[in-house]
Structure 1
């Protein structure tokens, strides 16, 4: 099935867009990435008091040991997001064999948390390419303020992922990647995606619940109010906002 915007039913999860069968991976050159970033730098940030945030999750079996804790932290982030006027969130997740699904846009945190509570982990390989493709397709239709991705590993072609990250950067959409654990291949890929999109990479461990909660809250604030709102949050003492600002050049 060719890459195209996912179609969403009102209350059900639908399969997200995926790459065409048999298509050769696209490899991005350093010049390509530089051109993407130059164009992305000229694009405006999210407007005050609104915004759309894509929240993407790796729901493969390797995350099962800490899944319940992660869901609790993310539910807190959704509740914080619900206090921000006009912020909408789309949930995207992958698991199992070629399963990648995207929700409708949620503005009610209770509905979003309920949708996430129905997700369980299933064995399979990572599908970060599909997450980036879904974000690109959504950005063609409307302004997306940011993408959050939470995962622990990466089992795909890093050059193809960077090419798609460059496409997303053309829309001025930063990707904030939060890695659970310390898998080095994933860290390298996540850092590069963050660099290309002018987002941020952060690592968290199973015991760092408050750190992740602060980081997710900071991203929600950025998606709603842009860098000005993030700076105000940093001045209030939020450690997550400070860490993101340090990386977002």
Structure 2
């Protein structure tokens, strides 16, 4: 706990749009189909581990506030599977990319998130992927969720890290706010290389986003069977997912 690496990983806890609805039915179908085709992952008897990564640059402030409110759903829906540990990772400002400790309590994670203030800056997705690689080498990470709206990096370097994460068996679920096609292609490549999935969204589709984030958490914690159970009585997007998983 006293190493420089551990100190760098700690978050400061002091307080501090464009696009269509989770876009079209075909885009949702594509996202769900990708999840359905992912390698089967069964419970290991240990708590699930999920990296929850967000762009915290200035343009992301409205979505950050929304994420603070909906993140608890990921914990709630995995409690019966043995629980979930979530680590928040974010970047903002000039070269700032930080990670929290692992949290098993949504209130604790929410407190950390509300202490973060969004600041202008460029994307640092490569750092997030490299961080996830280090974490899963320490102890297996079930999945990485990334929520962002921009891409301003060397695509080849980012894809190299994504490929390494894919070899380690950590899928990236990339949620893209906004309709920029260049960003979409980059996020899609990251998802493909990690055997994850890509899905666009906007703030008007917050409820559906909440269900999809929770579904990914359930998959990370309990595999396909848990996801099928979670889908019963849920919204249309998750129903589509569970029907395809069961097919």
**Structure 2 length as normaliser, TM-score?**
0.78
Report whether the alignment pairs 1:187 with 2:184: yes
1:21-32 superposed matches below 5 A: none
Q: Distance in 2 between matches of 1:243 and 1:7?
A: 41
Looking at both structures, which has the greater relative contact order when contacts are Cα pairs under 8 Å and sequence separation is at least 6? Answer: 2
Structure 1 match to 2:224: 227
Report whether the alignment pairs 1:116 with 2:113: yes
Structure 1 match to 2:155: 158
| Aligned-pair CA distance for 1:7 | 1.5
1:13 to 11, 14, 18: 11
| Aligned-pair CA distance for 1:79 | 4.5
1:92-111 superposed matches below 5 A: 92-111=89-108
Label 1:46 to 1:96 Cα distance change in 2 as closer, same or farther (>3 A).
farther
Query: Does the 8 Å CA contact 1:90/1:105 hold for their aligned counterparts?
Result: yes
Q: Distance in 1 between matches of 2:79 and 2:111?
A: 14
Q: Distance in 1 between matches of 2:146 and 2:117?
A: 17
Structure 2 match to 1:170: 167
| Aligned-pair CA distance for 1:77 | 3.6
Structure 1 match to 2:30: none
Structure 2 match to 1:126: 123
* Structure 1 spans left out of the alignment, 5+ residues: 15-40
Label 1:244 to 1:129 Cα distance change in 2 as closer, same or farther (>3 A).
farther
Query: Does the 8 Å CA contact 2:48/2:141 hold for their aligned counterparts?
Result: yes
- 1:113 alignment partner, SS class: helix
- 2:198 alignment partner, SS class: strand
RMSD, aligned α-carbons: 2.8
- 2:109 alignment partner, SS class: helix
**Structure 1 length as normaliser, TM-score?**
0.77
* Structure 2 spans left out of the alignment, 5+ residues: 13-37
1:60 to 53, 57, 62: 57
| Aligned-pair CA distance for 1:231 | 2.6
Q: How many aligned positions are there?
A: 217
